[in-house]
Structure 1
Amino acid sequence: MRVMTFLLFAVLLAATPAFALTIATEDSPPSTIVKGDALSGVSVEIVREIQKRVGDHTHIDVFPWARAYSMASTTPDVVLFATTRTPEREPLFTWVGPILSIKWGFFAMRSKARPLGSLEEAKAGVIIGTYKDDAREQFLKSQGFTNLDSSSSQMLNIRKLKAGRIDLLVSTNIGIATMPESCGLKPGDMVNVFTFKEVELYIAFSKGSDEATVAAWENAFDEMQDDGTLAAIQARWLPREASARK
């Protein structure tokens, strides 16, 4: 009896993974859209399609960006999306993608908008709202910007812009299209005064993550590219961007 019990325990132990994934994202429409307990968005749909193809049923958790990034930077088997791939971040993660291409820009209230001709012009005379610890804030700091007002959410930045507490905020061409309505603004109330960088977003695995899992996700992503699923998801959520690429 003891032998059978031991054998059964050994079989169960062998069938149980030695790790569990944590899949982390943030509330950042239209990449990730949180409405109550429902989660959607272009990046969410891409990740769920990968999960379906590899047989993964891990729940996707939503965190403030700084916390999600810290987890992925320090803990194995954490999947973080959607994440900008930068030279500074390159050695910190294993990258799957790219899943999206976006543009970074400075945005102002239309009533106060003044076009900028360069990054240098934005270094003085204005206060710029940034999102704490995100790639855009990190980039501007690396370029010598000292006139940054960091916030824990982009919604707070929009409220600050609307109230005149900041002059510009940093956002993306896709993100700015959906956020203002939640703050009582109409489409067109905020305008881009300068686009300063184009980047690609990825799914990032923390260092020390299970290699077989990472490889399975990479293979599933490659399949989605080859069979047209990735392009179809992008076009469904971002029709204007998809049209611009044709």
Structure 2
Amino acid sequence: MPKFGLSLVLVIPFLISSTMALAWPEQTEQSVLRLYTEHSPPGEYLDASGNVSGATVELIELLLSRLDQPATIELLPWARALERAQRQTNSGVFETVRNQEREARFKWVGPLKMHTIGLYGRSDVFRGRHFAALAGSNYIACEYRQSVHVNSLKRLGFTEGRNLILTVNHGDCFTLLLKGRVQLVVLNEAGYAEHQLKMQQAGHDLILMQPLSQVQLYLALSLDIDDSVVERWQQVLEQSYRDGSMRRLYQGVYSEQMIRTLEQFAEKKGEQLPPEDGGDPFRR
């Protein structure tokens, strides 16, 4: 599967066709779809060659191939990625939480992933201590700007300018945690193993202090994209869950429980299709 090369001034378009591609209207030439994401290993990151890589990126690449959709993928700080996807036509951002605040701003494809989100701290600071008094203490929590989890931290009593730091990039908070400049960060279970290893190399452990939420992460497409196109995206995504393609990309990276939950989601959707369709979104 080709990767997406990046430089400061150029994003090379992704142009792949597939024998499984769905048919597009013949009278309309495909325009290049601009997709944005953030640095969030193991789903999205720049590899040693400067290419946008990761398990979720590979899934998006697969869907682009099956749709015969030319596209670019650019990795940006999250707030900028989200803003561009909202302002630009024929664009999208992944992976993002679908919630009431964002619902009307995009057209949605997913879920791409499902996660349990928690607030974690360092063992040398919090071992044997309870969460109840943390928000009113001098302990500092950290999260990145425009994250939906900022509101969760504020509801717990954390306040920007007092005991809440908001960063530009997703990974900055964990760097601050390693350096001892903050004591609490928001993580999902997919990134936990990698971060735990880094923390153990520093001589400590990550401790779950407080579960925050269960979230579903989506590809959010701009509102100008036709509903029929969005539906084709949804169909090829669910097909990748049913035919084992998603499993091959996600296995060993994300939890078996999450992979199986996504497969079950697609199986249930397939059962709801009209009998004459045979549950196959590629049938014409």
Query: One fold, TM greater than 0.5?
Result: yes
- What letter matches 2:117 in structure 1? W
| Higher normalized contact order (CA 8 Å, seq sep 6+, divided by chain length) | 1
Aligned with 1:166: secondary structure? Answer: coil
C-alpha contact 2:112 2:216 (8 A) present in aligned 1: yes
- What letter matches 1:29 in structure 2? P
Q: Is 1:178–2:194 an aligned residue pair?
A: yes
- What letter matches 1:27 in structure 2? H
The percentage of aligned residue pairs carrying the same residue is 25
Unaligned runs of 5+ in 1: 1-13
The answer for the alignment partner of 2:136 in structure 1 is: 124
Choose the corresponding residue for 1:211, options 227, 231, 246. 227
- What are the Cα deviations for residues 172-209 of structure 1, in whole angstroms up to 9, with x where unaligned? 11123324667894596323222221111111112222
Aligned with 1:215: secondary structure? Answer: helix
- What are the Cα deviations for residues 46-85 of structure 1, in whole angstroms up to 9, with x where unaligned? 1111111101231211111110001112222212111111
Choose the corresponding residue for 2:44, options 25, 32, 55. 32
Larger helix share, 1 or 2: 1
Please identify, of 38-47 and 187-196, the stretch whose mean Cα deviation from structure 2 is larger.
187-196
TM-score by length of 2: 0.71
In 2 relative to 1, CA 144–194 (structure 1 residues): closer, same or farther, beyond 3 Å?
closer
Unaligned runs of 5+ in 2: 1-26, 265-284
Aligned-pair distance for 1:231? Answer: 3.3
Q: Is 1:68–2:81 an aligned residue pair?
A: yes
Q: Is 1:162–2:174 an aligned residue pair?
A: no
Distance 1:79 1:97 in 2: 13
Number of aligned residue pairs: 231
Mapping of 1:128-143 within 5 angstroms?
128-141=141-154
Aligned with 1:224: secondary structure? Answer: helix
Aligned with 2:120: secondary structure? Answer: strand
TM-score by length of 1: 0.81
- Give the alignment's Cα RMSD to 1 decimal: 2.9
In 2 relative to 1, CA 143–87 (structure 1 residues): closer, same or farther, beyond 3 Å?
farther
C-alpha contact 1:235 1:242 (8 A) present in aligned 2: no
Distance 2:240 2:108 in 1: 16
C-alpha contact 1:235 1:241 (8 A) present in aligned 2: no
